[in-house]
Amino acid sequence: MYREQIKVLDCTIRDGGLINKHDFDEKFVREVYKAVAQSGVDYMEIGYKNSRELFSSGEYGAWKFCDDEHIKRISDGVESNVKISVMVDIGRVNMDQIKPADQSPVDMIRCAAYVKDVDKVIAMANHFQEKGYETTINLMAVSRDRGPELDEALHQIEEEAKADVLYLVDSFGYFYQEQIEDLVKKYKAIAKSKEIGFHGHNNQQLAFSNTIEAIIHGANYLDATIYGIGQAAGNCPLELLVGFLKNPKFDVRPVLDVISKQFVPLREKIEWGYLIPYAIAGMMNEHPRAAMALREGEHKDDYREFYESIVDSGYGGK
């Protein structure tokens, strides 16, 4: 699949940081940065840009906050064309503390929100766009918001938002390919002035195939993580996506190297990837928090009991 407009965004450190409270050491992050840069990937999302005063001191690692000096230490001396991205959530960042883009190592700020907060996320994205950043709006958990509220949000984004890209996010790994087709077409039909992006989770082992489906129907911004690392079941694996795309600028070999040297050992320490509780959460259109709690408890492999507990709770997805 070769299309020159396609951009790949690696969110290994940002999404992977949801497993370990964003506490990757700088050596690890630098190795990821070098691999991403050498592979030809367009963007690396290095974490969240949260305001420290809003969080308990010492609870989180550096990539929860992405101070400029930390980012500069990661990229210093590395020959690279990769752009740096950070994510911001509503209510977790003091926007006035963010320097203008020409004074920052950050190139793109991605603004995440649920459909109900579309007014707030548009204001946030416009604020950062005016500061000189590339911006995206990432509408989360749209598997729960596919009615008129989603249509209204998409129209409002098209009319009011200055963001460059609008992301379809399968937060719970719930969607199948037919739904991805319908939604990408909807996003493109309504948000005609925006590039469309896709961020898939792998609860049902569909993140890669759903990403391909999004590509087929015109999504040009694609998220992935090295070795599929990410919260719970993780994300579309970067190595699969880079291997699939036929643009000669991409090279999977640096990604394979960093998997062997860094991610195989890391997987002995922290858990991510396809597991039955995460699959159940995906089937039921549920956030994986209950499945994550199960995996941390004494009965982590009691799959049927977990399934029945989700059913009995009156799951919201069907």
- The pLDDT score that the predictor gives to residue 221 is 98
Report how far apart, in Å, the C-alpha atoms of 65 and of each of 31, 208, 240 are: 19, 29, 29
pLDDT tens column, 124-151: 999 999 999 999 999 999 999 888 999 9
Q: What pLDDT is recorded for position 315? A: 55
Q: What's the mean per-residue pLDDT of the chain?
A: 95
Q: Are residues 198 and 295 in the same domain?
A: no
Asked, for residue 234, whether it belongs to a domain, the answer is yes
- Percentage above 90 pLDDT, the chain: 94
70 in the same domain as 115: yes
Domain count, the chain: 2
The pLDDT score that the predictor gives to residue 318 is: 42
Q: Does 108 lie in the same domain as 20?
A: yes
> Do 301 and 212 share a domain, yes or no?
no
Instruction: Assess if residue 41 is contained within a domain.
Output: yes
Q: What is the mean pLDDT of residues 160-166?
A: 98
Tell me the per-residue pLDDT of 269-285, one tens digit each, with 9 for 90 and over.
Answer: 999 999 999 999 999 99
Q: Report yes or no on 318 lying in a domain.
A: no
Asked if the model's pLDDT at residue 1 lies above 60, the reply is no
H-run or E-run covering 85: strand 83-89
- The residue-averaged pLDDT of 299-303 equals 94
- Residue 200, in any domain of the structure: yes
Q: Are residues 69 and 202 in the same domain?
A: yes
Task: Bin 147: left if φ > 0, else alpha if -120 < ψ < 50, else beta.
Answer: beta
Tell me: pLDDT of 114 over 70: yes
The pTM assigned to this predicted structure is: 0.94
> So what's the pLDDT on residue 312?
83
Tens of pLDDT, residue by residue over 2-18, are 789 999 999 999 999 99
State whether 172 and 294 are in the same domain: no
* pLDDT tens per residue across span 14-54: 999 999 999 999 999 999 999 999 999 999 999 999 999 99
pLDDT at 65: 97
Asked whether residue 87 falls in the same domain as residue 148, the answer is: yes
Quick count: other Cβ atoms within 10 Å of Cβ 270?
10
What's residue 56's pLDDT? 83
* Distance between CA atoms of residues 25 and 137, nearest Å: 29
- Angle 65-203-295 (CA atoms, 0-180°, nearest 5)? 75
| Among 53, 131, 145, 55, residue whose Cα is nearest residue 86 | 131
Residues 58-68: pLDDT tens digits?
899 999 999 99
pLDDT attached to residue 172: 96
Output the DSSP codes for 147-180. Answer: SHHHHHHHHHHHHH---SEEEEEETTS---HHHH
| 65/105 same-domain check | yes
In a domain, 146, yes or no: yes
Are residue 287 and residue 259 in the same domain, yes or no? no
- Whether residues 256 and 289 fall in one domain: no
2 part of a folded domain = no
CATH of the domain at 22: 3.20.20.70
Neighbours of 200 (CB within 10 A): 26
Q: Tell me the chain's radius of gyration from C-alpha atoms.
A: 19
Q: Which domain holds residue 307?
A: 276-312
Phi, psi of 282 (to 5 degrees): -65, -45
Same domain for 102 and 230, yes or no, is yes
Same domain for 219 and 191: yes
- Domain contains 1: no
Q: Is residue 165 one of the residues assigned to a domain?
A: yes
Instruction: Judge whether 134 and 86 are in contact, CB under 8 Å.
Output: no
